[in-house]
A = this chain, B = another copy of it.
């Protein structure tokens, strides 16, 4: 008689009575093993294991996480040492700076249609909004800052820089301690923006570049993140959403003789359309981006629900350890 139990484990049903805190919740998910809850628990376990084993966590995030209320989650991820490197979009940096310059995102705006918003100068990001003062304030501040940056850093009239250098410089200049750009800078976590030109922030640089020579050098950014990867004995890729940030972060291993040794992604994208955003972490093994043995978990869920759970549990874990 074939004893199926020999090769298997009984599932555990999530027990609310064992879930008194974020850390306990994620541990309880981990015990279920199965379905979406199980994959979330496994994802958290992998991140803890990665950090415990000395890995550097490379964190990418795409999608409008700043308008989506995730700024303090990212800040806490930085401050608690979960993230060692960040790859994101120009849009998220843009929205962070708008808040840093005193113009918070809004919600619960009653509007007839998007033309009315257009007339009011309000920009919509699903159910979050940039107020009419948001972009003008960004423009005013960035004009001054970019000029200052150029003055400081130009060489013979040419400012030849990279996205991560610019993010670092900006992080030093702005005063708002709630900015994730500043928080990252204060904790020596570099921010790569693979295509800063693809954002309103990039358009501000472009505007100034009509008057002063400014070059954002993609190639030097590549060298930098590849070096960072190469110099980290162990590495974990943690992806919140797909797109360029995911691909760019993972390809940092391609020129190396190493692969990422831990992998976690949160995505709503589908596998079956064949795009990179929804691709499994197993597929990435064929490309040499992860080792086959690397523990991996993909959570198919909304980042704005999952990321707060993971960061909150991680903070609790760290605190428990330090006691």
Residues in A lying within 8 Å of B, measured CB to CB: 2, 4-5, 7-17, 19-22, 25, 28-29, 32-40, 62-64, 67-73, 76, 89, 91, 104-110, 113-115, 117-118, 120-129, 131-133, 160, 178, 194-200, 202-203, 205-207, 209, 214-219, 221-223, 241-244, 247-248, 251, 254-255, 268-277, 279, 282-288, 292, 298-306, 308-309, 311-312, 315-316
Q: A126 with B279: in contact, given A194-B198, A219-B216 (CB under 8 Å)?
A: yes
Rounded to whole Å, the gap between the CB of A222 and the closest CB of chain B is 5
Contacts of A131 in B (CB 8 A): 4-5, 8
Closest to A124 in B: B286
Cβ-defined contact, A275 with B21, below 8 A = no
Rounded to whole Å, the gap between the CB of A48 and the closest CB of chain B is 15
Q: How far is the CA of A22 from the CA of B2 in the complex (A)?
A: 42
Query: A11-B107, A37-B70, A113-B292 given. 18 additional CB < 8 A pairs?
Result: A4-B132, A5-B131, A8-B131, A12-B69, A14-B70, A15-B72, A16-B308, A16-B315, A35-B273, A126-B271, A194-B195, A194-B198, A195-B248, A200-B254, A202-B222, A241-B275, A268-B273, A272-B302
Contacts of A39 in B (CB 8 A): 272
Contacts of A19 in B (CB 8 A): 22, 308, 312
Cβ-defined contact, A67 with B34, below 8 A = yes
